[in-house]
Structure formats: structure tokens, C-alpha cells
Amino acid sequence: RGKGRGKGRGKGRGKGGRRIPRSLADVPSYKVAPGTTQPPVIVDGFQFANPAISDVYVLTHFHSDHYGPLTGKMFAPLGARGCVIYTGEVTAALCVAKLGVSRTHLRPLPVAIPGQAASEPPGWTRLKDGGGRALALEVKLLDANHCPGAAMFLF
């Protein structure tokens, strides 16, 4: 076996052998929303979840390669003040129903209707971190036309 490829728990590994990221350098740049650093906004990257790195996450749609390894227990030790997950309303409902994710961590946002002007509601939403502090980042969700609830996040 190659270094770090075996299953099970070892140094720096969590349950199921998942490597626990220690810093933002462990997160691929394509999983971090551009221009976000304090905290970085991690997109579809729950395999890199670590409150020491970020407490703000984005989930674009409910496919296992995007939400894995998200579970209802993942952020439970952090309590209500913990990490927040921005997602569309349909995807948020699926996270609650299928994964048991607490609504306290979800921030469902409406998805704009195709053909709707950028200035029309639903408008832009300023993101907040897990502690409720406003970030210098606004987002609008657009229908991704991929699967029910799938959204493109326009930052």
C-alpha cells in the first residue's frame, strides 16, 4: 500500500480513515470560493470540514459526491454556534430528511427563477459565519438545471 492510502485510523485520520485537514493548504483551491479567506467559504467540500479551517460551507446540490461525508452528527459537537451550510431550500430539506442534519446549521436560500432580472427578488444575501458575523460576500442562487434543488452560487 502507498503512504496514506490504507483504510482504518492512523495519525491524522478520522472515522472511516478520512484524513483530517489541518490547514487551508489541505483544501484544493477549487473547493474554496474565490476571494474568501477569513473564513474561507468551502464549496461542496465536506471531506475537508474542520472548524479550525472554516465554519462556512456551501452545498450546491444533493448528490453524494458533493455532500459526502456530511451527516447529522458531523457538526453536532459544535452545538448551535457551529458551522453553517448555505444551500437551496430543496437541498436543505433533503439534508434534514435523509442525513439528519440539524436545521440550526442550515441556511436555506431561495433559488432565482430562470429569466429573472438580477435586481428582482430573491435578491442577494450577505453570508454570515457560524458566529453570526457578516462576511464581505454576497450570494445569489441560480437554477442549475441539473437535479431537483441544484443551484449555482453567484458570488
Q: Is the peptide bond before 34 cis (omega within 30 degrees of 0)?
A: no
d(CA 27, CA 98): 26
- Each residue's pLDDT, cut to its tens digit, for the chain (155 residues) gives 444 444 444 445 455 555 677 888 999 999 999 888 889 999 999 999 888 889 999 999 999 988 988 988 887 665 555 789 999 999 999 999 999 999 999 999 998 876 766 566 677 899 999 889 999 889 999 999 899 899 999 98
Q: pTM score, two decimals?
A: 0.81
**Largest CA-CA distance found in the chain, in angstroms, rounded:** 55
